[in-house]
Chains A and B, each alone.
Chain A
Amino acid sequence: DAGITQSPRHKVTETGTPVTLRCHQTENHRYMYWYRQDPGHGLRLIHYSYGVKDTDKGEVSDGYSVSRSKTEDFLLTLESATSSQTSVYFCAISSDYNSPLHFGNGTRLTVT
């Protein structure tokens, strides 16, 4: 398995609270991604990073922010969690163009 660790693995939080999910990699890969997976929608890109402090929005970025201060860490923050953000969140990494994505084991987030 690629060295990708997501934390926490499970989280239950209340509507309106901020939440931060962490992705840590030991592969020194340049690209890091946050996806959410929901039934009927597949995997949808939230944000991605193409280097330290270089990030960009994906197709479902509203309500989320990210930061990458070190190559190995990519943080996803839900600024004020809503029930629509209940989902499974996957972090993925890629070394370069034409290189496959490798996924972490996911974080299951429930917003009540």
Chain B
Amino acid sequence: EDKVVQSPLSLVVHEGDTVTLNCSYEVTNFRSLLWYKQEKKAPTFLFMLTSSGIEKKSGRLSSILDKKELFSILNITATQTGDSAIYLCAVEGLNTGNQFYFGTGTSLTVIP
């Protein structure tokens, strides 16, 4: 059965801390892994990773994929209160068409 598992479930940190969010997966015919940030409304796209060992970086956020060990991490450095959100990991598999499997998310709270 295809599945995506995220850890930890929730995290509370102080502004300025660095956090690491984890995502492990078992998905048939893996194509890509995606990270999303969800505040009060729709998830917004952060990164897509398709190749092993490639790091994607955008400002204080970065992510790396290990296709051999079937996991990804999302790092956030120098956290700010605006980083408070649920972070979702999704894995794209190929069956009849594209299918995206989501983890249950990590809830991050950054306190001043």
List residues of chain A with CB under 8 Å of any chain B CB.
Answer: 31, 33, 35, 40-45, 48-50, 54, 56, 58, 90, 92, 94, 97-98, 100-106
Contacts and interface: CB of A to CB of B under 8 A. Distances in A.
A92 B34 CA distance: 14
Secondary structure dominating the interface of B: strand
Given A42-B88, A42-B103, A100 B98 contact: no
A43 B99 CA distance: 12
Contacts, number: 60
Contacts of B80: none
Contacts of B21: none
Contacts of B44: 103
B52 to A, nearest CB: 15
8 contacts: A40-B104, A44-B102, A45-B99, A48-B98, A50-B98, A97-B31, A98-B31, A98-B50
A66 to B, nearest CB: 13
Range, interface on chain B: 20 to 34
Nearest to B50: A98
Q: What's the dominant secondary structure at chain A's contact region?
A: strand
A98 B103 contact: no
A102 B44 CA distance: 7
B84 interface: no
B43 interface: yes
A101 B42 contact: no
Given A100-B34, A101-B90, A103-B43, A31 B97 contact: yes
